[in-house]
């Protein structure tokens, strides 16, 4: 009988009984225990694969999808391989090495032997690695490249039949067998597999460029010939229920695909450019996204500060940061924490990205008089306890939001500022009086997303002394501290970075801060006071993550301090010149 994974982890002294029981109690039902423990950073992937090998009493294989010959993987039918989470990775003589998530599945081994005629040698591998092998073997970029080849061959055939030297290829967009349909499916599936946040289809000459945004960085995936791009755009518009005949106005739409049994939504936006229509598709993982404060990546201290703020009956709580810093995720986690049968929670969003059961979500629509400011006025008549406004972006919305916070409602929203203290200045810029800001504001949070070091190629490194001095202005880093970076490998595409983690700067409003805001204290002095009152700056929060070996000093500097430090350095240089 196969031992339980938790028992094996305890036997290997990787975890305690208490940690295993806590993980079993808190993990979502749909998530495997090992994956959950890695996600919670209780163990790393190397320790998980070691424990799985011990559990199943078979060798472990650290799979690299780029090193597996797709022709070997395709010896097993795709449906069978995906259903049984197994991939053929190696052939030696009459033996086939089969990477399996559950190598004790005797029936799968027996069926594979019958289908292939090889003697199966099972090895255990992580589910994510097996999936990547199958994706590379059966679809994604390989399929996308093949569909482009199909199109070019179709073009040549059409040219020969018509006698034209430079024909324009007409590809039907309503047939599931056309190359365009397969190409679009490959682009969407590839984005979901790569865990991209956005897909960009950009019309350029001589070819359309397709890029994924992964971990906040854009990566070029492929190019599409110009004579095909209209068909690709039309196919996506049909799927998103957009007007295919309109190319001169911006449009928005929404489409859904199913990838590996998961529902993945895409918010589609099109705009006209000088070279054609540009599309951006934002991925919305409608099946696997959960919003919980204790899963945002906050420290216990930060979680306590946020809970103390949002559990007050009325006032304003704002989340700040640039686009793509995770503000919406934080807002949804806050709403889920507050969601209960005794609270009426209403939101107005543009757009509604995720549906939250038990929460009344309103789609902002200026054409029908439901912009943020008007919608907020109507919501005030709906007896709300908690109101969430997607963004405070104008004077009218700011005034109504502050008034709601002052009259017994808990108001939650976002602002585009660089730091937590900047929320005060931004509300002032929008015409709110200092005494109203002081009376309404409960606290603000600034956040950033830092790219993580790839665990597969992580190694110790000597930090840049200048960078260390720039980040550690308070001299808190212990001497001899070890820092890490990624060497660069196939799993991280040579970047040394994989995945992202959030950092937070939280400014609660105590009596001193309220008095300072009422007095109109300048931003720099208000920031110094907030630090004295216990606020941890973004740079310091990032430095803690670098000291813990989760990210690099360079990443912390770029995402939190480069602009501010350059300005301070420039001021120091000017003073020296004077």
Q: Tell me: the pLDDT tens digits for 399-447?
A: 999 999 999 999 999 998 989 999 999 999 999 999 999 999 999 999 9
pLDDT of residue 491: 73
Q: What is the DSSP letter of 389?
A: E
Average pLDDT over residues 151-162: 57
> What pLDDT, on a 0 to 100 scale, did the predictor assign at position 397?
92
Query: pLDDT category, 347, cuts 50, 70, 90?
Result: very high
pLDDT in tens, 482-526: 999 988 876 776 778 888 899 999 998 999 999 999 999 999 999
Residues sharing a CB contact under 8 Å with residue 266, sequence separation 6 or more, in sequence order? 188, 199, 240, 254, 255, 256, 257, 281, 282, 283, 284
**Per-residue pLDDT for 568 more than 50?**
no
Which pLDDT score is estimated for 164?
53
Distances (CA, A) of 111 to 114, 117, 122, 349, 482: 5, 10, 13, 51, 50
Q: How far apart are CA 64 and CA 454, in angstroms?
A: 14
Question: Which residues on neighbouring strands pair with residue 410, listed in sequence order?
Answer: 315, 386
Give me the torsion for CA of 224, 225, 231, 233, rounded to 10°: 50
Q: Look at residue 288 in the predicted model and tell me its pLDDT.
A: 54
User: How many CA atoms lie less than 13 Å away from 517 in the CB half-sphere?
Assistant: 29
Please state, in angstroms and as integers, the Cα–Cα distance from residue 64 to each residue in 46, 99, 109, 408, following that order: 13, 11, 22, 56
**CB atoms inside a 10 Å sphere around CB 407:** 11
Using one digit for the tens of pLDDT, what is the confidence trace for 193-235? Answer: 778 889 999 998 888 999 999 888 888 888 888 888 888 999 9
Question: What is the rounded CA–CA span in Å between residue 284 and residue 556?
Answer: 27
- Residue of higher predicted confidence among 46 and 119: 119
Q: What is the C-alpha separation between 318 and 412, in angstroms, rounded?
A: 6
3-state secondary structure 39-56: HCCCCCHHHHHHHHHHHH
Structure tokens at 137: 């073997």
- With CA atoms as reference, report the closest residue to 126 among 57, 32, 14: 32
HEC string for 534-558:
CCCCHHHHHHHHHHCCCCCHHHHHH
As a whole number of angstroms, the distance between CA 7 and CA 13 comes to 10
Is the pLDDT assigned to residue 576 strictly greater than 50?
no
Q: How confident is the model at residue 1 (pLDDT cuts 50, 70, 90)?
A: low
Q: What is the DSSP letter of 67?
A: G
- Segment 396-400 shows an average pLDDT of 93
| Pairwise CA distance, residues 569 & 473, whole Å | 13
Q: What whole-number distance in Å separates Cα of residue 190 and Cα of residue 200?
A: 13
Using DSSP, state whether 403 is helix, strand or coil: helix
pLDDT top residue among 542 and 161: 542
The predicted structure's pLDDT at residue 571: 37
Instruction: Indicate whether 172 pLDDT > 80.
Output: no
Tell me how far apart the alpha carbons of residues 187 and 193 are, in angstroms, rounded to a whole number: 10
Look up tokens 């000291």; give the residue: 547
Write the burial class of residue 150 (CB in 10 Å: 0-12 exposed, 13-18 middle, 19+ buried).
middle
Quote the pLDDT of residue 324.
81
Q: What is the pLDDT of residues 354-380, one digit of tens each?
A: 888 899 999 888 777 788 888 888 999
**Res. 25 pLDDT band, cuts 50 70 90:** confident
Residue 529: pLDDT above 70?
yes
Task: Give 66-106 pLDDT, tens digit per residue.
Answer: 678 777 887 888 888 988 999 999 888 889 999 998 888 88
Least confident of 58-67, 145-154, 417-426: 145-154
Q: Is pLDDT at 116 greater than 70 in this prediction?
A: yes
Which is more confident, 401 or 146? 401
- pTM score: 0.66
Q: How far apart are CA 506 and CA 421, in angstroms?
A: 9
Give CA angle at 298 (487, 349), nearest 5°.
105
**pLDDT bracket for residue 159 (50, 70, 90):** low
Confidence band of 572 (pLDDT split at 50, 70, 90)? very low
Q: How confident is the model at residue 160 (pLDDT cuts 50, 70, 90)?
A: low
Residue 325 pLDDT > 90:
no
Using CA atoms, how far apart are residues 256 and 282, in angstroms rounded to an integer? 11
Q: What is the pLDDT of residue 176?
A: 53
Going by pLDDT thresholds of 50, 70 and 90, the confidence category of residue 21 is confident
Q: What is the mean pLDDT of the chain?
A: 84
Return the ∠ at Cα 294 (arms to 266 and 303), rounded to 5°: 120
Residue 463 burial by CB count (10 A; 0-12/13-18/19+): exposed, middle or buried? buried
> Do the beta carbons of residue 225 and residue 207 sit within 8 Å?
yes
Residue 149 has pLDDT above 60, yes or no: no
Q: Is the model's pLDDT at 548 over the cut of 60?
A: yes
Using alpha carbons, select from 354, 524, 553 the residue that is nearest to residue 425.
Answer: 524
Locus of tokens 């034209």:
164
pLDDT by residue (tens digit) across 259-282?
Answer: 766 788 899 999 999 989 999 999
């Amino acid at each position: 009988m196969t031992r339980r994974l938790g028992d094996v982890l305890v036997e290997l002294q990787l975890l305690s009984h208490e940690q295993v029981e806590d993980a079993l109690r808190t993990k979502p039902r749909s998530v495997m225990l090992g994956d959950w423990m890695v996600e919670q950073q209780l163990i790393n992937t190397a320790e998980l694969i070691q424990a799985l090998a011990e559990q199943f009493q078979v060798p472990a294989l650290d799979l690299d999808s780029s090193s597996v010959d797709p022709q070997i993987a395709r010896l097993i039918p795709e449906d069978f391989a995906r259903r049984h989470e197994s991939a053929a990775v190696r052939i030696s003589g009459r033996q086939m090495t089969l990477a399996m998530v559950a190598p004790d599945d005797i029936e799968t081994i027996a069926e594979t032997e019958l289908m292939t005629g090889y003697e199966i040698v099972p090895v255990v591998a992580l589910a994510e690695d097996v999936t990547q092998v199958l994706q590379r073997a059966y679809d994604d970029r390989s399929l996308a490249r093949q569909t482009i080849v199909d199109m070019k061959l179709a073009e040549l055939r059409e040219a020969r039949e018509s006698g034209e030297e430079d024909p324009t290829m007409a590809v039907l967009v309503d047939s599931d067998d056309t190359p365009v349909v397969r190409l679009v499916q490959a682009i969407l599936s590839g984005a979901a597999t790569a865990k991209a946040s956005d897909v960009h289809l950009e019309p350029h000459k001589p070819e359309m460029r397709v890029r994924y945004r992964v971990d906040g960085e854009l990566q070029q995936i492929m190019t599409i010939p110009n004579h095909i791009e209209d068909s690709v755009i039309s196919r996506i518009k049909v799927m998103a229920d957009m007007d295919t005949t309109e190319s001169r106005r911006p449009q928005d739409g929404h489409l859904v695909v199913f990838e590996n049994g998961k529902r993945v939504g895409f918010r589609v936006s099109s705009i006209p450019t000088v070279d054609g229509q540009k599309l951006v598709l934002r991925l919305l993982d409608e099946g696997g996204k959960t919003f919980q404060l204790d899963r945002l990546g906050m420290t216990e201290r930060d979680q306590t500060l946020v809970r103390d703020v949002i559990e007050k009956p009325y006032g304003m709580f704002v989340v700040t940061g640039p686009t793509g810093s995770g503000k919406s995720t934080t807002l949804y986690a806050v709403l889920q924490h507050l969601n209960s049968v005794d609270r009426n929670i209403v939101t107005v969003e543009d757009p509604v990205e995720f549906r939250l059961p038990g929460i009344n979500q309103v789609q902002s629509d200026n054409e029908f008089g439901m912009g943020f400011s008007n919608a907020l006025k109507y919501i005030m008549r709906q007896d709300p306890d908690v109101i969430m406004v997607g963004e405070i972006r104008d004077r009218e919305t700011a005034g109504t939001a502050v008034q709601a916070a002052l009259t017994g409602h808990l108001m939650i929203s976002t602002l585009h500022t660089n730091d937590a203290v900047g929320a005060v200045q931004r509300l002032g810029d929008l015409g709110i009086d200092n005494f109203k800001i002081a009376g309404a504001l409960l606290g603000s949070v600034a956040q950033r997303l830092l790219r993580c070091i790839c665990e597969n190629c992580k190694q110790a490194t000597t930090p840049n002394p200048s960078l260390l001095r720039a980040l550690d202005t308070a001299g808190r880093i212990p001497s001899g501290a070890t820092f890490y970076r990624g060497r660069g490998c196939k799993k991280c595409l040579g970047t040394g970075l994989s995945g992202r983690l959030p950092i937070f700067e939280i400014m609660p409003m105590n009596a001193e801060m309220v008095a300072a805001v009422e007095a109109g204290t300048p931003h720099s002095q208000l920031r110094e006071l907030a630090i004295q009152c216990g606020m941890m700056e973004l740079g310091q929060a990032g430095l803690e993550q670098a000291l813990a070996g989760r990210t690099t000093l360079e990443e912390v500097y770029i995402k939190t301090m480069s602009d501010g430090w350059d300005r301070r350095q420039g001021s120091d240089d000017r003073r020296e010149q004077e």
